Amino acid sequence: MKGKVDRLMAEMTLAEKIGQLNLLPAGEGLVTGAAQATTLAQRLAAGQVGAVFGTKSLASARAMQERAIAGSRLGIPLFFAEDVIHGHRTIFPLPVALACSWDVGLIEKTAAFAAAEASAEGQHVVFSPMIDIARDPRWGRVAESPGEDPLLASRIAVAMTRGLQGPDMLAPGRVAACLKHFVAYGATQSGRDYDNASLAWEDLLGIYLPPFAAGCEAGAACVMASFNAVNKVPMHAHAPLIEGWLRGRNGFDGLVVSDYTGVKELTAHRLGPAPVAVVRALFAGIDMDMVGEDYLRELPTLAEAGIDAPEAGLALSSAAIRDLTDRACRRVLTLKERLGLLDDPFRGLGATGAAPKRQAGRKLARRAAAQSVVLLKNNAVLPLSSKARVALVGPFARDRRNMLGTWSVSGNADDVVSLDEAVAALTGKAPRTAWGVNIVEEPWLEQRLNVHGVTVEHDARSEAELIEEALAVARQADVIVVTVGEAKEHAGESSSCLSPDLPAPHHRLIAALKQTGKPVVVVVFAGRPLALGGAAEVADALLYAWHGGVAGPEGVADILFGAATPSGRLCVTLPAHPGEVPLSYAEEPTGRPYRGHFQKFLTGWLDLPDTARRYPFGFGLGYSEVRYGTPSLSVTVAAADDRVVLTVRVQNAGPREATETVQLYASDPVARITRPARFLIDFQQVTLAAGECREVSFQIDADQFRYPIAPSLEAAEWVRDPGLVQLHVGPNSRDTQSLDLTWLA
């Protein structure tokens, strides 16, 4: 018996099929201010839209659905999509911040909450999770990413997909996930947004693709292509990666959407004019064309006449193009069927979307914010006593707007409790605050913010006057908490920066405050890992707080005063100097490896004598002292199908509860190609009461040591060599204890 999709496909005209491939923004909705029908309204009336993204209310989505059904001869409904990157109305910490919690259960909960809020407003699909590995802090989209490590990112991809889709995507409060951006968007040249990526196929397979494999395995319904080229082929035309790897090798059977005008941009990539771009994209497996409408414009003619473009090396018959159109349309309809929309076009668009309770969201957001904060240094200053007289200074002391972070499209800065308010609520006493310095001190930054149409809170006084005011407040306090970092527009899409470090005035502010002789607690609010330079040395305590969402400052206050205990661990390496990026703990050794300080003829930089000031991946402190015992292995020589158990005792030797993330890395001393110096193979989070001791065990199997060899993408194979491997267990990627294990053939 034919299914619904087959029946529709049999009845649809070519024009109707092409209409399904059009993915448009909601924009102004159905009418303009002058009450004229918008382009969207016209397209809906003509049956030329498959889906709409960015509707801002249930009522407008419902009105569009009514219009779409009336405009479609066969009554085919739209699906609605939205960018729900780290929360919908309730904004959680930035993804890079949440990843620092290393708590995949928590991440799943935040995704589930966001899904419930979005679905209550009629969304069926969210353009999330963003699972691009990011190792270059210059790239502004580090903010949206799960960090630098493929294993951690893969676990997050699974957690996010589960949180969004649940066990059943059709259950109330769930939405379809869209993994993005496929692929290697984080590997773009010099960290410039939209630039191209040239990388070894082994790196693509071993670093950038695993989170996508994991998200697909978890059942993600949709994938979005990325703007960059990979090894000379723009991703919107990359048939070997989309049809070949994603669908062919990896078995993905969902929908692939373009990114915003990604099909059109193939022309700027110099692949050819619009008809060539359209055929290349459709052939590569891009099923829906977001915003650009090139499919809508070009496909009718292409499907009649075919294409013969020798200058672009492209020829395809009209029949082949009709087949490709069918293939794409079938995938759009299949997603609609999976979303239940072919049975009930108004699914999720009922009059009363059951939104989850905002209070529950705030509670979760506060917990998530506290867990995302990474304590980098503490000279016995923190936690602060609630009786301490606190001076709270710097540009984020009273800030709300920046706390939401980038890609918080449906968030509201009024929902943010600022740090001064959070401290007052927690301690019962308002801290003395001072502005310190403006967030935006350099003309180019100001210009940048103007590009985003943002009005910057600006104090016309000079830096010297502002610092003087901060000092006046600081002199009357027992302890100074100084907030520094970057504005929310400094990180995010199209916000790459040349030098990812703390702005110079922030360094000057910290140095001036240090002169008071009072303890200085530095809190960094940022969207990317910034090189902190001298600030890290000057600080008596240092917290990396990212942009923490609606409850970000409350999470920071909880950590500052010990209402929560710090458990965050870096999901990215913090550089010692901005010039050493891109970087990762997993760099490959060279023939002349760096030995902890610069020496002639060893890998390194003349003008960076010591990278020890880097904060390594996985690093973070707590308020307790956690001690590791000597790890042991169940066997030291194992057969290929053995399961080896590594056990290590961790003891909370301090007076407070501690949450410890026990990290297990491996290295492969003899391989066929260069391998990472070490790579994360597992981790476990344990919460230990004061004095508690626990055995943590990891199951290890030979498959965890497989690695790709790839003279070409098509010829790629995953191999494993018998012999010695090393295991490294500890609290971060640097401070580990090592064990040898030999795998037999």
**Catalytic site positions:** 259
Instruction: Report DSSP state, residue 206.
Output: I
| Helices and strands, counts by H and E, the chain | 21, 29
Nearest approach in angstroms of CB 595 to ligand BGC is 41
Nearest approach in angstroms of CB 94 to ligand BGC is 14
Task: Write out the residues near ligand BGC by the rule CB under 6 A.
Answer: 83, 127, 180, 259-260, 493
Q: How many residues does the chain have?
A: 745
Nearest approach in angstroms of CB 81 to ligand BGC is 8
Q: Which is nearer to ligand BGC, 188 or 624 (CB)?
A: 188
Residue type at 121?
A: E
Q: Is the dihedral of CA 391, 393, 398, 404 positive or negative?
A: negative
Nearest approach in angstroms of CB 12 to ligand BGC is 27
Q: Residue 560 and residue 435: Cα distance in Å, rounded? A: 19
Are 298 and 263 a contacting pair, CB within 8 Å? no
Write the DSSP assignment of 135-201 as a string of letters: --TTSGGGGGS--S-HHHHHHHHHHHHHHHH-S-TTSTT--EEEEEEETTGGG-GGG-TT--B---H
Q: Which is nearer to ligand BGC, 180 or 264 (CB)?
A: 180
Q: Give the N- to C-terminal CA distance of the chain in Å, as an integer.
A: 51
Nearest approach in angstroms of CB 83 to ligand BGC is 5
User: Containing H/E element for 537?
Assistant: helix 534-538
Q: Which is nearer to ligand BGC, 492 or 730 (CB)?
A: 492
Q: Which is nearer to ligand BGC, 95 or 173 (CB)?
A: 95
Nearest approach in angstroms of CB 681 to ligand BGC is 30
Q: Which is nearer to ligand BGC, 53 or 743 (CB)?
A: 53
Q: Which of 84, 74, 88, 40 is nearest to 60 (CA)?
A: 40
Q: Residue 285 and residue 368: Cα distance in Å, rounded? A: 37
Q: Which is nearer to ligand BGC, 66 or 493 (CB)?
A: 493
Q: Which is nearer to ligand BGC, 223 or 581 (CB)?
A: 223
Enter the tokens of residue 170.
Answer: 């059709």
Can you tell me whether residue 37 is helix, strand or coil? strand
Q: Residue 428 and residue 450: Cα distance in Å, rounded? A: 38
Q: Which residues is 647 bridged to in the sheet? A: 632, 697
Nearest approach in angstroms of CB 670 to ligand BGC is 41
Are 123 and 222 a contacting pair, CB within 8 Å? no
Q: Which is nearer to ligand BGC, 293 or 399 (CB)?
A: 293
Nearest approach in angstroms of CB 296 to ligand BGC is 18
Q: Kindly report the CA angle at 223 between 217 and 226, in degrees rounded to 5?
A: 130
Nearest approach in angstroms of CB 45 to ligand BGC is 24
Report how far apart, in Å, the C-alpha atoms of 243 and of each of 237, 258, 324 are.
Answer: 10, 14, 12
Nearest approach in angstroms of CB 376 to ligand BGC is 30
Write the DSSP assignment of 54-98 as a string of letters: ----HHHHHHHHHHHHHH-TT-PPPEEEE--SS-SSS--S-HHHH
Q: Residue 166 and residue 549: Cα distance in Å, rounded? A: 24
Q: Which is nearer to ligand BGC, 48 or 406 (CB)?
A: 406
Q: Which of 601, 589, 604, 615 is nearest to 734 (CA)?
A: 615
Are 331 and 254 a contacting pair, CB within 8 Å? yes
Nearest approach in angstroms of CB 54 to ligand BGC is 7
Q: Which is nearer to ligand BGC, 194 or 561 (CB)?
A: 194
Q: Residue 630 and residue 648: Cα distance in Å, rounded? A: 6
Q: Residue 236 and residue 291: Cα distance in Å, rounded? A: 14
- Note if the bond before 129 is cis, omega within 30 degrees: yes
Report how far apart, in Å, the C-alpha atoms of 373 and of each of 97, 369, 481, 569 are.
Answer: 7, 7, 15, 8
Q: Residue 225 and residue 185: Cα distance in Å, rounded? A: 9
Q: Which is nearer to ligand BGC, 260 or 346 (CB)?
A: 260
Q: Residue 284 and residue 277: Cα distance in Å, rounded? A: 10
Residue type at 193?
A: D
Q: Which is nearer to ligand BGC, 113 or 407 (CB)?
A: 407
Q: Which of 606, 638, 726, 584 is nearest to 186 (CA)?
A: 584
Nearest approach in angstroms of CB 180 to ligand BGC is 6
Q: Residue 653 and residue 660: Cα distance in Å, rounded? A: 12
Q: Please write down the HEC assignment for all residues of 341-385.
A: CCCCCCCCCCCCCCCCCHHHHHHHHHHHHHHHCEEEEECCCCCCC
